[in-house]
Amino acid sequence: MMTLLARGMILGLAALSLWLVVGGAGLVSLGHAAMLGIGAYAVVALDEARITEALVVAPAAIGAAALFALLTGAVALRTAGVPFIMITLAFGQMAFFTAASLAFYGGDDGYTLYARSTLAGGRWLENRLGFHYLCLALLAGAFLFCHLLLASRFGRVLRAARENPLRVQAVGFSPYPYRLLAYGIAGGMAGLAGFLLANATEFVAPSFLAWQRSGELLFMVILGGLGSPFGAVLGALALLLLEEGLGHLTPHWRLLLGPLLVLAVLFLRGGLVGLPAQLAGTRRHG
């Protein structure tokens, strides 16, 4: 049984991977859930082959998702703006329908894992506390990695290309390979989140790859704030807590969630991570 905290950390990792594309490279993707789902289906494929060692399964999930990201990104990143959004959406839907057609992995009905992955031969992931610590460690590691990546020369070029790609080209850098590598890294991180999600739920379905999940991840990033990788994690936790809280109030909680999210986007200009600065500015001018 997946707890709210575990779900928050896993989706926080997935949102963080999308933030690298949206906040780091300035590219809006509606196919990011495909990488999450591919990571989860890598767990399924190895589970079917009775390979459950996490030290094998996790790299396989990361590699499969990163490879998909690199192959599709090589095409999608030749464009920008709306064409890029539509191409990523198309690739994501292709992956979704492919997963739904895999009858030997459950098709539309999904696939139930025989058991969670083992770690160094032990059932550490079966322990609730141990699994939470693993999620926390991987989320913290991914956050630190993103921070160091964007502080590096690679990250500076990536952010400069986000602001003004023509100026970057004028000083001798091509934005394309930097964006492609960032897209591949983000795909690998999403694959890692897929590995954790598959183990948390012990069930994998095509819905993991649906465009609605991509939209949910994108909203988490926007809600948290594009200015910081911490915003993606904060946005994921905030959205899940909001869903959980409203779900206890009324069975029609989605009718309340929509307007609340619209208000959040309208009035939280820097997202949740920018709220303290926004409040400080309001007091100063007040």
The pLDDT value recorded for residue 285 is 59
Query: In angstroms, rounded to a whole number, what is the distance separating the alpha carbons of residues 44 and 46?
Result: 6
Report all structural domains of the chain as residue ranges with CATH numbers, in order of start.
Answer: 4-285 (1.10.3470)
Query: In angstroms, rounded to a whole number, what is the distance separating the alpha carbons of residues 150 and 20?
Result: 9
- For residues 135 and 255, the model is more confident at 135
Local structure of residue 116 (DSSP, 8 states): P
Coil, strand, or helix at residue 252? Answer: coil
Query: In angstroms, rounded to a whole number, what is the distance separating the alpha carbons of residues 27 and 19?
Result: 9
Identity of the amino acid at 56: V
- In tens, the pLDDT along 158-206 reads 999 988 888 888 888 899 999 999 999 999 999 999 999 999 999 999 9
- In tens, the pLDDT along 104-135 reads 898 999 999 988 898 887 788 888 898 999 99
Interacting residues of 143 by C-beta distance below 8 A, sequence separation 6+: 16, 229, 230, 233
Position 281 pLDDT exceeds 70: no
Query: In angstroms, rounded to a whole number, what is the distance separating the alpha carbons of residues 177 and 233?
Result: 27
Position 1 pLDDT exceeds 60: no
- In tens, the pLDDT along 41-86 reads 999 999 999 999 999 999 999 999 999 999 999 999 999 889 999 9
Phi, psi of 154 (to 5 degrees): -55, -50
The pLDDT value recorded for residue 252 is 77
Q: Are 186 and 18 in contact (CB under 8 A)?
A: yes
Mean pLDDT of the chain: 90
Query: In angstroms, rounded to a whole number, what is the distance separating the alpha carbons of residues 106 and 152?
Result: 43
The pLDDT value recorded for residue 56 is 95
Query: In angstroms, rounded to a whole number, what is the distance separating the alpha carbons of residues 102 and 108?
Result: 8
